[in-house]
Every structure is written in structure tokens, then in C-alpha cells.
Structure 1
Amino acid sequence: MSSSIRKLGPVSVLARELADDGQADFSATAEPYRRELLAHCYRMTGSLHDSEDLVQETLLRAWKAYDRFEGKSSVRTWLHRIATNTCLTALESRRRRPLPTGLGAPSSDPTADLVEGADVPWLEPFPESASDPADPASIVGSRESVRLAFVAALQHLSPRQRAVLVLRDVLQWKAAEVADAIGTSTAAVNSLLQRARSQLDAAQPSADDPVTAPDSPDAQDRLARYIAAFEDYDIERLTELLTSEAIWEMPPYLGWYQGAQAIITLIHQQCPAESPGDMRLIPMIANGQPAAAMYMRDGDGHVPFQLHVLDMHAHGVSRVVAFLDTSLFAKFGLPERL
């Protein structure tokens, strides 16, 4: 993709070019939808990095077609339609993005060596600021639609199934609108949706135990205790927070680990920290879930190490995905060093 349409700081280069070319009207019309377009592309691809490029491509395509926009639909619908087809084109040449638990292997031995899957395009986390809607009443639904478990389950669907399910069940489009958007029949959309829902139900974990909202007092208290356990290097204290069947995974490593004791053993075996103060964590929200950015001691400071995204329920933390891709720290607006 041309570097001329990549983002530069808080204002996109594309927006500047539009203003220079007398297309400020388009920029003013389209820019308010950038964040929700980013969330839409993330649901489709599972990649924050790819989604940023796809949003830029979407806005470029929309800019070129703006003089032909007849207003038969809302600008929001029109932009989502372009974004959907931009994603479908991109996904033709890209593999699905799993988490380690999605690879089909059983849980791993926490005392064994870590094995890196360098050639696997891993699912990435998503910052709260990019998905937070302007309407507070929509926050809960927006968070649910970017939860890691949901986006990971979407990876089991074909690209067209993903598009249909997201447009129908997340954006609440009518079947006829979806059919028109992706160039198929209403009957085909209904068939794709039925199969997608069935596969999603099989791939997603049970929803019997509702997740705790990340900004609730209970979640904030648990996250504070989770952070304190690492910063004090009191790893055994984590057993008070983890459920008995909790899962820990660390992309890009292929293994995943189940059970509080296995997780404690793994951390003692593999974590480079040795004493209190070696780790510092910043509380945050990612994928509509409690999260923390972990920094590891390096000389007289601390440098990025992992991003932890937590599944938190009434009875404890049931899953931690610790992303080791430190390039994500900048995407979350996190400092380069503490």
C-alpha cells in the first residue's frame, strides 16, 4: 500500500491530502467513522496492524468514489460496505489468525521448553480507545463485539461467513442489505449466516458465566491484585485470583497451559524476573476486557515485555493471553520505557 495514505501522528496523511485537493468535505464526512471502521476491520481480520492499513484503503476508495455517492444509504453504511469488500479482498491471500488454543493441540507441559510459532499470523489485541463508541449506551455491545474469544471464534469462519455474521449480528443489517453489499443473493446470505452461527457456537466458550465489565469495582480490584502479585514477585498469590481451570497462552509461543498450578509453574520456569520490582504493570482495557501492560527491568528502567488481556468472571480470572509482540505497545499509546 502506498505510504502516502498511512497515518502520521493523530492526523492521517490521507486527510491532509484531501484538504489539499479541495476534498475537505469528504474528510469531514468520513473521519468521524474512522474508529468504528477500525473495529469492523479488526473483527474481519483479527489484526490491529492490518486493520489500520485497511481503513486507510477504505477511505482512499471512498474518496475516489465520493462524487458518485448518491445518498441512497447513510454515509456510515456506505463506508462499512466499502470496508467489508476491502477486507474480503485482503483476506483472499491471508491465513486465519488463531490463538495458541485455536491450533488444536492439547495443553502443554509447563516445564518443557517454549516453542515459537514464528510463521503463524497470530491474533492481535485491540485497544479500548479504538472501539469505544460515542454513545455510552453502546459501550457494552461494542465491547462484546471485539472480545478476544469472539474475534478468535470468528477466525474459524470463512471470510464471507465472517462478513455476513458481522454485518447481520453486530451491525444489525438486513439480509437484503448484506446481499447487496457483498454481491450475492438474500438466500445465500441466510445460508451463510446459519452456517456461521453454528460454527461460532461450536468455537466459542460457554456464555453461562458472564464476563465482568472491565470498569466495574470487582474487575478493578482483581486487576489491582493481579498487578501487585507480579510487581511483588509473589507469583503464588496468583492462585487466589485464577480459576482452577484457568488458561494461559503467550503468542507467538505455540503452547498453552491449563490450571492454576501449571500456570504458576510456567511463570517460575520461564519468566526472566527474579525479585520484587523487576516487573512493572500499567492497568488498561483491551478488547473490552481488563488488561495490563507488563514492563521488565532493563538497567535502571523497565522496557516493554508483554500485554496481558484477561477474561474475568465472578469467580476469578479464567484466561490470560499474554502477547509478546512489543510493537503493540505504541499502538496502545503506551510509553517506550518506564
Structure 2
Amino acid sequence: MSTDTLLKELGVSGGRDLGMVDEPAFTALAERHRRELHVHCYRMLGSFQDAEDTVQETFLRAWRRRETFEGRSTFRAWLYRIATNACLDLLAARRPEPATGGEVPWLQPYPDRLLDELRADDADEPETVAVARETIELAYLVAVQHLAPRPRAVLILRDVVGWPAKDVAELLGDSVNSVNSALQRARAGLREHLPAERQDWTGSEEDTRTRELVRRYTEASVTTDIDGLAALLRDDVRCSMPPTPGLYVGREAVVNDWIESGFGQMTGLRAVLTSVNRQPAVAVYHRQDREGAYLPLTIDVLRITGGAIAEITTFHADQFPRLDLPERLPA
């Protein structure tokens, strides 16, 4: 049963009626949309934690402004409007300038197990939940973060959420012509930062070839076989480790960084395979004799194209709990 069907059963058709709903009932209605709103805010912000905070702010604003729900749109669309404005407010306060140079220091991974919570659209929902794989992968998130906040909102609402231009214009207090113009500029800006092979990008599709490549990458990582790893990389591979500064482009640059960091001399590693942002990922643990266990080290998220690794985004150990990874492995 859709949220709006439930509202009808409660006798709600507008703000005055919604004002009669008690807080527990209102919270229950809003919670049905938590995950999709969280994913929407995550696309806008690029940070899992910022998205979490913004959804909480969205629910608080919605409760306080419940009488502004006039019933002309769906309850879900009303929440999206509040969430988008909350994202724009946060961006204005914390990150007034978009990302530059291909790096997004605030980028955080999104667990696949939480993406799996997104429910299929109810038959009577007039809008669609767009969670296409390519719009949740890290390369897309990085490209989106290079757009200014308002064009970013236009792009996500139009091309991902599927809103009509007139609804986006109403949200932003702008004209339809301005929204359409912003969308074209945003699409052009997005293309500048997406991988060159974007049209043929198959992302993290699970096929035999991909699984074998991930297996070989995992084995080479655990044994710190730099030559073996290098053989799996595309010539134009990209490697970053947010929030640590540095973007390495090209096989030679990536391999040199591994060598200079001393990775080739490391021993006592183990790995756990997982997936985040609908991409294969390898969580690496390092043996600590004092602890008598293997403790979290890093997690590599892979983008694979044409049978080779096109991008490695490495996150620090502080992301392990969010990704539901073991806090330690037995020695």
C-alpha cells in the first residue's frame, strides 16, 4: 500500500488535515521513505554521514511544516522537496564550492545491503524510484560533485528522480526555461568528469570474467604482488583514497605510488570480498600480533571496464563498521 493511500485512509488531503495526525503516525509515514531520501541526499552530497544528518533534518522540517502539505502533490514528492532544500542549505553552509580536479575528499561509500532496502514502486505511485546502478556508482558520484549545487539538484531531480521541469522550477523558485538551460549545462559538465568509456560502461555486472578479475586482484593484494596487480590495471587507471589528497592517473603513476608507500613490503594481510555502491570491493585486514587478530586496514572499491580495472577508490578503516564488515578476523 502506498503512503498516499494510507494518507487517504487517515482522511488527509492537505496541510490542515495532516496537522491532525499525531507525531508517531506522521513519523511512521515519513519513515517509509527514509532509504530513498537517504540515497537522494547521498547523490546530492557524496557523503553517507552528511546524507544521514540531512534526512534527519528533513523529517524535522517536515513535522514542523506539515501544514504546508497541500495535497496537490504526493506526500513523497513533498518530502523530496524538503530534502533537496535541506541539501542545498547544507552545501551553502559547508561546501559552497564544488569539487575540482577529479578529487572529492568528502566522498564516502554506500553499503549495498542498504541499497537493497529500496522497495519496488507501488503500482499506484505516480513517480518512480530511480536507483539505476550507474547513478550510485562512485564515478558518477564524483562527477556530480563537480557540479554547482543548484545545477546538481536540477540534474538529479530531472534525470534520476524523473521530475518534470515545471516541478523542479517550482522547487527552486525558477522558470522552466532556466531549469531546462541548467539541465543542459549540468549534463555537459557531468560528461566532462565521467569516464571516457561511459557509453560502454557495464559497471559491476557480476559475470564470470569480472569475478575472476576480482579474485586475482584479491590474491595479488594479500600477497602484495605489485607486478600481478599492475597486470590487472588499464593503462589509464585512476586511483584515489578520500579524504587523503591525491589522485593518481595511469598505471605507472599508480604503481609508483604503491612502491613509494611501501605496500610491496607489507606482510600479514587477509581480505574479505564485499560490494558497495553496486561495485565489487575488497576489504583488507592487517595482522596485529599484539591483538592476536587481523584488524581493518583499507577497502578498495573497483570499477571494472573491458576486463580490466579502470578505477580503484580506497577508503580507510573507519568505514568498515558502516559497511557491516567484521571488526577483526581471527589470527
- For normalisation by structure 2, the TM-score amounts to 0.81
What residue number does 2:225 align with? 234
Q: How does 1:1-338 map to 2 (within 5 A)?
A: 22-95=22-95, 96=97, 98=99, 102=102, 121-132=105-116, 133-135=118-120, 141-206=131-196, 207-271=198-262, 274=265, 278-299=268-289, 300-324=292-316, 326-338=317-329
Instruction: Give the number of aligned pairs.
Output: 298
Instruction: For residue 161 of structure 1, report the CA deviation from its aligned partner.
Output: 0.5
The amino acid that maps onto 1:316 is: A
Query: What secondary structure does 1:122 align onto?
Result: coil
Distance 1:318 1:139, change over 3 A: farther
Are residues 321 and 182 of structure 1, via their aligned partners in 2, closer, same or farther at CA, if it must alter by over 3 Å?
same
Give how far 1:311 is off. Answer: 0.9
| Partner SS, residue 183 of structure 2 | helix
Which is worse superposed, 282-291 or 40-49? 282-291
* Structure 2 residues without counterparts, runs of 5 or longer: 1-20, 122-127
Tell me how far apart the structure 2 counterparts of residues 238 and 272 of structure 1 sit (CA, whole Å). 12
My pick for the range that moved more, 185-194 or 230-239, is 230-239
Q: Are the equivalent residues in 2 in contact too, given 1:97–1:152 (CA < 8 A)?
A: no
Q: C-alpha displacement at 1:195, in angstroms?
A: 1.4
Shift of 1:336: 2.0
Deviation at 1:57, TM superposition (A): 0.6
Cα root mean square deviation, aligned: 2.5
For 2:109 and 2:129, how far apart are their aligned partners in 1?
18
Q: In 1, distance between residues paired with 2:155 and 2:146?
A: 12
Q: Deviation per CA, 1:184-213: give whole Å up to 9, x if none.
A: 221221121121112112222221431343
Letter of the structure 2 residue corresponding to residue 334 of structure 1 = L
**Structure 1 residue 70: Cα displacement:** 3.2
What is the TM-score normalised by the length of structure 1? 0.80
Aligned-residue identity in percent: 40
C-alpha offsets along residues 275-321 of structure 1, whole Å, 9 cap, x if unaligned?
A: 55x22222122222111222222222122221211110123111101
CA distance in 1, matches of 2:228, 2:264: 16
How far the C-alpha of 1:163 sits from its partner, in A, is: 0.6
Whole-angstrom CA distance in 2 between matches of 1:266 and 1:44: 31
2:18 match: none
**Matched residue type, 2:212:** D
Q: What is the match of residue 11 of structure 1?
A: none
Structure 1 unpaired stretches of 5+: 1-20, 104-119
Matches of 1:139 and 1:25 in 2, distance apart?
23
